[in-house]
Chains A and B, each alone.
Chain A
Amino acid sequence: MNRTFKPTDLLWYGLLAALALLPLVPRLLANSFTAHVCILILLFASMAQSWNLLGGYCGQVSFGHSVFFGIGAYGAGIAMVTYQSTPWIGILVGALAAAAASALISYPCFRLKGHYFAIATFAIVEIFNRLFMVWDWIGGAMGLDYPILDDSWKHFMWSTNKTGYYYGALALFVLVFSLVRWIERHRLGYYLRAVREGQETAESLGVDSTRVKLSAMALSAFLAALCGAFFAQYNYRVDPPMVMSLDMSMRFVLITILGGVGTFYGPLLGAVILIPLQEYTRAYMSHLGTGVDLIVFGLIIILMMVKQPRGIMGVLADLKRLSGPARSAEVK
């Protein structure tokens, strides 16, 4: 852990610099559709990464993340619509509420292992969806519609162009990815993976597995809620089916699986492939009927599961291994 600069650091900081400078490229983000796709990539990569912390590193597959995403979205929505104020406090309260809810929900669920944990989280989405549908104080099934306010960071709202949202999404992306990167290199990261690889073994080495799983869950839910808040701000509204649905939960899971579960760049790669696919098929192939993007999405996932279950990161590792010996042969 000395302070020398590793090639992977260079890749990461280079990527961040490129993303920060992207809006300066003339005419690139002037097209609001391109900007929209870029924003969604950053948002969904962040969502997938927040899920990856629990599902990938710690091995606890959750289909309940749309609940935390939704709580975060409502946090921002309630602050904007019900209290007519800036969303920022609502974002924080929502994220904390999501973390608390996740701990309450997962404490009993963590007694279940493997598939049974995953199945339990399915049920939770339905429970919260129904609950929010009938809860009138937060708009019930109608949801919350945002008032149109001045463009500003205070309102986290821009109606003339998308540069503000782009930087907002980038900030979210940097926060989520940097946190996961930090965790990966510190004690918690090793404990998460140890719990995934063998809970009893981890316990024998002094790892309090329940505490580790709860921390991963709470952190993961907190970050997912921040993503949800951004989503509500970006769409000017929030209602239960839009945020708390199995469909939304699946996106957290499938993007990560496509990119590579338990890897740092996996969630980003998954989002880079799936989001443009989703948005462009939706835009250009909609005459074929709704759901074309989901059909393509499903086919890619099936193909990936059959050919390389470790996702794109697995494919890249295979390529590296294949090219490795060949390259050294050339040197000779």
Chain B
Amino acid sequence: MPLLDVQNLTMRFGSLLANCEVSFSVEPGTIVGLIGPNGAGKTTLFNCVAGLYKPSGGRILFDGRDVTGLPSHRIARLGVARTFQVVRPLKEMTVLDNVLVGSYLRHRNPRKALAVAEECIERCFMKAWRDKPAGDLTMGNKKRLEVARALATNPKLLLLDESVAGLTSTEVREMVTLIRAIQDSGITILMVEHIMEAIMPIADKIVVLNGGVKIAEAPPGVVVEDERVITAYLGEKFSQRLKARREANGNA
């Protein structure tokens, strides 16, 4: 049974169709990448899964349970944690306090919540910033804080919304290592990402959206060869040229 099963999800904002009949599934223990050009509806889909938006149509099953349209705090309680594309640190609170808000979800006892929070801070390499106000962090650290805070809620499924975008190349490598480590600890990951170097090596499956519609769902190696994906990213002309060149190579 897939951990997350999105069935015919449709999200409409007025006359704008942000997601149209999108279906895909996420198997437990895997990393699934959600890619697509700007405006493809990736974040909208995320927000539907995380409960920030109520889908206009379709169903979302998490762990075999219909969670369509549940408020986000209930979805978080069921075991879905998310990060935000535009980072949202609780600015006036310290890094530790931010992560504590996450860990209090499963632990009422302050001592236990503190222990879990400390562990998550350590896992995300943020120990040196533990007592700094979250608003003062660099972008790289804010992105890591998003992950640490989400981890503290002890999720089954972690939704990462462009956690790598905007980082320096060293930070990208650190983040990829961190994501791998999170997967190794048994947490399933669905991530939206633009940086292909970050997502292609670690994803088990890639789902490609374009104009709100799913155009591919396959392992990374297959997706990069997919004609519709190349068209979506590089345009019709380039796709045709590539196809012609490939055929020429094939004939030779």
Contacts and interface: CB of A to CB of B under 8 A. Distances in A.
Closest 3 A/B residue pairs (Cβ):
A197-B90, A206-B76, A206-B105
A212 B49 CA distance: 23
A290 interface: no
A190 B73 CA distance: 15
Given A204-B84, A209-B73, A193 B97 contact: yes
Interface residues of B, number: 32
A203 interface: yes
B235 interface: no
Interface stretch (B26-34, B106-114, B206-214): B106-114
A197 B71 CA distance: 19
Contacts of B104: 187, 190-191
B65 interface: no
A1 B96 CA distance: 13
Interface in B95-132: 97, 100-102, 104-105, 108, 110-111, 113-114
Contacts of A197: 90-93
Interface in A89-123: none
Contact of B76 (A1, A193, A194, A205): A205
Given A187-B113, A207-B73, A201 B88 contact: yes
A1 B101 contact: no
27 contacts: A1-B114, A185-B110, A187-B108, A187-B110, A187-B113, A191-B104, A193-B92, A193-B93, A194-B90, A194-B93, A197-B92, A198-B88, A198-B90, A201-B88, A202-B73, A203-B73, A203-B76, A204-B76, A204-B81, A204-B82, A204-B150, A205-B76, A205-B105, A205-B149, A205-B152, A206-B76, A208-B73
Contacts of B153: 205-206
A200 interface: yes
B101 A191 contact: yes
Contact of A203 (B72, B97, B149, B152): B72
Interface in B61-91: 71-74, 76-77, 81-82, 84, 88, 90-91
A206 B51 CA distance: 11
Interface in A197-248: 197-198, 200-209
A12 B52 CA distance: 42
Contacts of B111: 1-2
Nearest to A212: B73
A190 B100 contact: yes
Task: Identify the interface centre among A197, A200, A205: most chain B CB within 10 Å of its CB.
Answer: A205
Contacts of B71: 203, 208
Contacts of B81: 204-205
Contacts of B149: 205
B223 interface: no
B147 interface: no
B50 interface: yes
A207 B52 contact: no
Find the residue from A193, A206, A208 having the highest chain B CB count within 10 A: A206
A1 B90 contact: no
A186 interface: yes
A205 B92 contact: no
B110 A186 contact: yes
A102 to B, nearest CB: 22
A205 B97 contact: no
Contacts of B92: 193, 196-197, 262
